[in-house]
Amino acid sequence: MIDIVNSLPNLKAYGTPIYFIYLLLAITPLVISLYFGKRLVKYEVLVNIVFIYLMFDARNWPQLIALIAFLAWQTILVLIYFKYRQRANSSQIFYLWTFLLLLPIIIVKVTPAVSGQNSIIGFLGVSYLTFRAVGTLIEIRDGAIHEFNTGHFIRFMAFMPAITSGPIDRFRRFEKDYQKVPDRQEYLGMVAKAINYLFLGFLYKFVFSYFLGSRLLPQLEAKAMFYSPHFTWYLVGVMYVYGLYLFFDFAGYSLFAVAISYLMGVKTPMNFNKPFISKNIKEFWNRWHMTLSFWFRDYIFMRFVFTATRHKWIKNRNTLSSLAYLLNMFVMGCWHGLTWYYILYGLMHGLGLIINDWWLRLKKKHLKWLPHNKFTEFIAIVITFNFVMLSFLLFSGFLNRFWFGGKF
């Protein structure tokens, strides 16, 4: 028995092929019971707990404690707010509560920027859980959530397939899925998709991402670093290879998370939809890390635009949306981490969105003669792709080492 326990730990989510064997074996009873139209709720809770526990191996137990404490904090806050919202709706309270929900992640993000060390209250997945909690809070304020069951909320927050890195689901959507059991045909359709996603994920993560990230990238980085801080074409190689690696790694992971959710009878939303065929940067954000970008769109961009319009802060609609883009992307940059390259990455995309809007307006008004055909679409895709790749080079933090020896 001790042998088994010793050989199990450190099952980083979806990290190795063997993880899938354990995971699929563990959820087989769930799949069979869903096929026969039943949810094994208690067994599912058990699987959730065991696999979350295994994600944090013995050395990472402080992370596990942090996760539990964090879940308790968020759940209690949301519960209190739900009770409060039945009676009143003050903006101050709402903002205070939002701040309290964000407090852990603010500490987690600010600590390394100030002290250079990771905060002890951090754990893998803290930001994704924060997104889920804040989203729920906003929907409660909007009066969109009428029932609140604490157990269900925790189940939504700590849904194992997506706990560490999303996709970011919404409480209402998740609950709707969970309240009913899909009929056999629908469920088989989900299983078929899940298997397709799993194998596509294997190709992305264990073939493409491995080759790009573990084989090619280190070599190119070493060659580029050899001439640092002077430009060589190796740096361009680093840019493309890192960008593609990032996509295949994250999209592969997301496919796994969605596939496992489907097998568990929950239609977790997709995260990627062929992002590199985007014809402009706005379309890109509708295809790249979709659950994150939609979260930002709904809860930051839109909220800011509504509030600003209601209070008549800015008259000009174009100025307003530009400002909203910049704010939206700046916050996203900060969320990735308080380093110059993440923040610049955010601002770069904010600026990209502004220029994109400006160009579309210009084209509509003054460049009517400009043709629209396969060729111009192709040009647009090439420009967007290269812009995105350049922004990912910034995002990678490689330039920090390349120019400053990793000092900042």
Partner 1 sequence: MKKNYRLWPIFGPIIIAVLLLIGLFMLPLNFKVSSKTLKEAAVSLDTATFKNQFLKKQALETKKTNYVPFFGSSELERMDRFHPSVMAAKYHNYRPFLLGKKGAQSLPQVLAMETILPQLKNRKVVFIVSPQWFVKRGITPPAFKYYNGDLADFTWLQHADPHSAYDRYFARRLVRLLGPNDRVGQMAAQIAAGHKLTSANYQWISFQRKFLIHEDQLFSRFRPNENYEKRIVPKINQLPKHYNYQKLQTLARGDAQRQTTNNNFGILNNFYSTRVKPNKTLLKGAEKNFSYLKSPEYSDFELVLQQLAKQHTQVLFMIQPVNSKWADYTGLNMQMYYQTVRKIKYQLHQQGFNNIADYSHQGSTPYFMEDTIHIGWAGWVKFDKRVAAFVAQKNEKPVYHLQKKFLQQNWQQLEPTQQNLKAFSRE
User: Active-site residue 146, yes or no?
Assistant: no
Residues 146-185 that bind partner 1 (CB under 8 A): 185
* Site membership for partner 1, residue 113 (CB under 8 A): no
Q: Which two tokens stand for residue 319?
A: 């100025």
Of 24 and 383, which CB lies nearer to partner 1 in the complex structure? Answer: 24
Of 11 and 354, which CB lies nearer to partner 1 in the complex structure? Answer: 11
* Site membership for partner 1, residue 382 (CB under 8 A): no
Q: Which two tokens stand for residue 224?
A: 């580029």
Q: Which two tokens stand for residue 201?
A: 């994920």
* Site membership for partner 1, residue 59 (CB under 8 A): no
Binding mask 330-369 for partner 1 (x = CB under 8 A): ----------------------------------------
Cβ neighbours of residue 42 under 8 Å, at least 6 residues apart? Answer: none
Q: Which two tokens stand for residue 270?
A: 């997709």
Which of 7, 91, 92, 179 binds partner 1 (CB under 8 A)? It is: 7
Of 2 and 88, which CB lies nearer to partner 1 in the complex structure? Answer: 2
Nearest-approach distance from CB 57 to partner 1, in angstroms: 10
Which of 6, 91, 92, 117 binds partner 1 (CB under 8 A)? It is: 6
Of 152, 311, 336, 372, the active-site residue reads: 336
Which of 1, 3, 367, 369 binds partner 1 (CB under 8 A)? It is: 3
| CB atoms inside a 10 Å sphere around CB 314 | 16
Cα-Cα-Cα-Cα dihedral sign, residues 134, 139, 143, 149: negative
State how far the Cα of 32 lies from the Cα of 28, in Å rounded to an integer.
6
Of 10 and 339, which CB lies nearer to partner 1 in the complex structure? Answer: 10
* Site membership for partner 1, residue 91 (CB under 8 A): no
Query: Maximum CA pair distance of the chain?
Result: 75
CA-nearest of 233, 177, 241 to 209 is 241
Quick one: how far is CA 10 from the chain centroid? 22
Nearest-approach distance from CB 297 to partner 1, in angstroms: 32
Nearest-approach distance from CB 26 to partner 1, in angstroms: 18
CA-nearest of 160, 185, 164, 165 to 266 is 160
Cα-Cα-Cα-Cα dihedral sign, residues 272, 274, 275, 276: positive
Q: How far is residue 13 from each of residues 80, 131, 271, 291, 376, measured CA to CA in Å?
A: 32, 20, 17, 19, 42
Binding mask 188-227 for partner 1 (x = CB under 8 A): xx-xx--x--------------------------------
Stretch that binds partner 1, among 157-165, 186-194, 216-224, 243-251 (CB under 8 A): 186-194
Of 59 and 372, which CB lies nearer to partner 1 in the complex structure? Answer: 59
State how far the Cα of 14 lies from the Cα of 222, in Å rounded to an integer.
28
In contact, 91 and 35? CB cutoff 8 Å = no
My answer on whether omega of the bond before 167 falls inside 30° of 0, hence cis, is: yes
- Residues with catalytic function: 336
Positions touching partner 1 (CB under 8 A) are 3, 6-7, 185, 188-189, 191-192, 195
